[in-house]
Amino acid sequence: MTRMFTAPGVKSSAQTKGSIVALILFTLCGILAAPTPAFALHRVAHHHRILHSIGRHLAGVLYNPLFRPSHDSLLRQNEEIDRLDLPRIQDDDQLEAMKATHELVPIIESDSLKIERSLDPSRRYCRPWTRDFVQDLADAYYHQFHAQIQLNSAVRTVTVQKKLRRHNRNAAPADGDTASSHLAGITVDLQRRGLTKDEIRFVERYLFYLNALNLVEPEEERRHWCFHVMVSERYSDWRQTQTIFPVLPSDEPSVQPVTAPPPATVTALGDTN
C-alpha cells in the first residue's frame, strides 16, 4: 500500500480549502454581528418606521371618543356666545373688571374638584352657570368613583389665546367664527388623561344627556386629552328643575336617560380650544 506523506508544516489541499472556507464563514459572521454604520442606521430607521406605525395605530385604537372635535362644534360654540351677546375678553383689564361686577365668578377647589396647579389663579374664573355645571359634574363623579375630577382651564383672554397659538398649532383662533369659547368665560377643560375606561365612559354619558338637551357642547381633545365643555346659560334654568340629577345607564349612549342617586349639591336645589 502506498502512503502519502507531506512535509512537516505543510497542509494538504483539502485542509487548505477547509481553512479558507472556515475563515470566510468567520468573517461573514463578524460582519453580520457588527454591521457597518450605514447598515446599522438603515436598520434603526426601518425599525423606527415600524414602531411609529404601530404607535399611530395604537393611538387610534385608544382614542375613540364620543365627542370628536370638529369645525361645526366650534361654530355652534360661537353661535351660543353671539346669541347671549357675550364679549370676548380682550385683556387682563377687562378680565378684572368682569370679576369686579361678578360677571365672572371664582372656581373653588372642593372634596370633589381639584384644579391644575399650573393654571394661573387669575384665570380660575368662569360664568356662574358654567361654575354650577362644574360643581354638579364633580359631585356626580365623586359620588360614583370617590375621586376628584380635575379642572385644567377656564376663562382666557384674547391676549392669552394668541400666545397659546404661537406654540400650539391645534389651539383655536382668538377671533372669527371658530374662535375659542374660553374667551367668553363659558367653557372649561376637564382632565381626561389618566382616567380609566369606566371613568371616561361615565363622563361621556353625563355629557351626552346634557348635550341632547342643548345645554352643553362638548369635545374630547386629543392633544391635551381633556374634555372641553362649553355650557349654555340655559343650564341654570334647567338646573332649577332638577331634584335628582339624571345620567345615562351603563349601556350605549343612545339609550334613553334614567335617573341616579343625587349628588349632595343637587339634592338641595329646587381651559385646546
Choose which CATH entry (3.40.120, 3.40.50, 1.10.10, 3.30.1380) describes domain 67-267: 3.30.1380
| pLDDT given for residue 263 in this prediction | 41
Spatial contact of 219 and 68, defined as CB atoms under 8 Å apart = yes
Q: Is 148 helix (H, G, I), strand (E, B) or coil?
A: coil
In Å, how far are 11, 59, 203, 204 from 209, measured between CA atoms? 91, 27, 10, 9
| pLDDT given for residue 45 in this prediction | 55
Q: Is 229 helix (H, G, I), strand (E, B) or coil?
A: strand
Helices and strands in the chain, H and E counts: 9, 9
In Å, how far are 22, 36, 40, 114 from 30, measured between CA atoms? 12, 11, 14, 59
| pLDDT given for residue 272 in this prediction | 57
| pLDDT given for residue 127 in this prediction | 98
| pLDDT given for residue 6 in this prediction | 42
| pLDDT given for residue 71 in this prediction | 94
Mention every residue, 6+ apart, whose C-beta is less than 8 A from residue 47: none
| pLDDT given for residue 254 in this prediction | 44
| pLDDT given for residue 50 in this prediction | 57
**pLDDT per residue as tens, the chain (273 positions):** 444 434 444 444 455 555 655 655 565 555 455 555 554 445 545 555 655 555 444 444 456 889 999 999 999 999 999 999 999 999 999 999 999 999 999 999 999 999 999 999 999 999 999 999 999 999 999 999 999 999 999 999 999 999 888 877 678 878 899 999 999 999 999 999 999 999 999 999 999 999 999 999 999 988 778 999 999 999 999 999 986 555 454 454 444 443 443 443 333 333 456
| pLDDT given for residue 23 in this prediction | 57
| pLDDT given for residue 201 in this prediction | 96
Give me the helices (H) in the chain, please: 13-33, 37-62, 71-83, 92-100, 128-145, 158-167, 197-212, 234-240, 264-267
| DSSP-derived secondary structure letter, 122 | G
In the chain, domain spans: 14-60, 67-267
